[in-house]
Amino acid sequence: MKYMNEKILIADDEARMRKLVRDFLKKDGYAVFEAADGEEALDVFYAEKGIALVILDVMMPKMNGYEVLEEIRQSSEVPVLMLTAKSAEEDELSAFSGGADEYITKPFSPKILVARVNALLRRQGSQKDKRLCAGGIAVDEEKHEVTVDGEFVRLSVKEFELLVYFMRNKGMALTREKILSAVWEFDYLGEARTIDTHVKMLRSKLGKYGKYIRTIWGMGYKFEVDAEETA
């Protein structure tokens, strides 16, 4: 599977190395952006929306690759491939502990590099398929993370499970009995207040998107996104 026109950022202080990688990636259909040092890499990453993958050299001027990786990981889970002459085990371990997804040492085969890039993007695409999105709300069930307009929101375990249940049953009228059975895993025993309290807290934490959780008086709730916000 090709990822035509996906944007890839290459950060390396050697122009010859950037050209080698760029030419092979472009041949495979990627749109390539370049940076000659760590600071420029971050400038390009933040300015060019939709970077799908970052290739980082470790030894760069101004900011090294580990510093760039640390900065990127504060706001993004974009796949990062470290491409470096540093082959010691501790260097590789430092990269992975810092959040790198792949580590390739120089010299390398450009064809293997492209194959690794393709594999990372396939993996990323598979993970995206498992995420739930509605309007400005994004839920990553594997990481147990929720973002609202890109900002992380801290939810309790039950609030998280309740949100997942609502989003997986979007558009369906859900009785309190069903919600209690699915999220709290016990039969309805008149504990409507438990659900209502959690819904109130969840709405508050979702901010303007709390309106998606609509009350059906005398019955329960429905998670519904405004039509104009689904585009």
pLDDT in tens, the chain (231 residues): 445 568 899 999 999 999 999 999 988 888 899 999 999 999 999 988 788 899 999 899 999 989 999 998 888 888 899 988 877 788 788 888 888 888 888 888 888 888 888 888 877 765 555 678 888 999 988 778 899 998 999 988 889 989 999 998 988 999 988 888 888 765 545 466 778 889 999 999 999 999 999 999 988 999 998 755 544
Nearest to 30 by CA among 9, 48, 5, 52: 5
pLDDT computed for residue 1 by the predictor: 43
pLDDT computed for residue 5 by the predictor: 66
Count CA within 13 A, CB hemisphere, residue 216. Answer: 12
* Topology of domain 7-129, CATH: Rossmann fold (3.40.50)
133/123 Cα distance (integer angstroms) = 18
Q: Which helix (H) or strand (E) holds 66?
A: helix 65-73
Q: Answer yes or no: CATH 1.20.58.1030 is held by domain 132-229.
A: no
Q: How many CB atoms within 10 Å of residue 47?
A: 9
Q: Could you tell me if residue 33 is left (phi over 0), alpha (psi between -120 and 50 degrees) or otherwise beta?
A: beta
* Strand arrangement, sheet containing 173-175: 173-175, 220-223, 213-216
Domain boundaries of the chain, sorted by first residue: 7-129, 132-229
This model's pTM is above 0.75: no
Tokens 């609030």 sit at which residue?
159
